[in-house]
């Protein structure tokens, strides 16, 4: 059995990080790594946690992710989560984003994570990937 990955969600050294152990191969793990990459503005790592179908339709994914997630993510909390089907998982999140220097806003979003073996092929044998377009911060 693979050990759970430890994910730190607070990059600011002045704030005590919240460390969460999430088993790999789960939708929560894919989402946690995606959010962690967003926190560090690591667009290439975010690509690796993104839904295969979304990636297939976006030629320069890192650039699009950078524009889509232009606010600085400071904190993410899970409000609720549930399986929609065997290949779709959904989580309600409360995000704390810095929209300008020292200006913080909170956003409530519902994010989907989909399991695919290839683009447009949902499969229980596939890999979990976050659907970036399911985030809406407006």
CATH number, domain containing residue 24: 3.10.450.50
Query: What is the rounded CA–CA span in Å between residue 71 and residue 106?
Result: 11
* pLDDT tens string 40-72: 999 999 999 999 999 999 989 999 999 999 899
The Cα 27–Cα 1 span in angstroms is 17
Handedness of CA 111, 115, 119, 121 (dihedral sign): negative
pLDDT in tens, 2-38: 444 445 454 444 444 455 678 889 999 999 999 999 9
- What pLDDT score was predicted for residue 135? 83
Q: Each residue of 73-105: pLDDT tens digit?
A: 998 888 899 999 999 999 999 999 999 998 999
Q: What is the pTM of this model?
A: 0.84
Q: How many domains does the chain have?
A: 1
Domain that includes residue 68, residue range: 5-134
């Amino acid at each position: 059995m693979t050990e759970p990955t430890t994910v730190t969600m607070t990059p600011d050294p002045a704030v005590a990080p919240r460390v969460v152990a999430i088993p790999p191969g789960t939708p929560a793990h894919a989402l946690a790594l995606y959010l962690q990459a967003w926190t560090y503005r690591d667009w290439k790592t975010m690509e690796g946690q993104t839904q295969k179908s979304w990636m297939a339709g976006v030629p320069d994914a890192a650039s699009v992710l950078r524009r889509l997630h232009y606010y600085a993510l400071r904190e993410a909390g899970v409000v609720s989560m549930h399986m929609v089907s065997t290949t779709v998982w959904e989580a309600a999140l409360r995000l704390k984003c810095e929209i300008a220097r020292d200006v913080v806003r909170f956003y409530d979003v519902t994010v989907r994570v989909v399991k695919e073996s290839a683009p447009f092929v949902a499969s229980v044998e596939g890999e979990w990937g976050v659907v970036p377009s399911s985030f809406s911060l407006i």
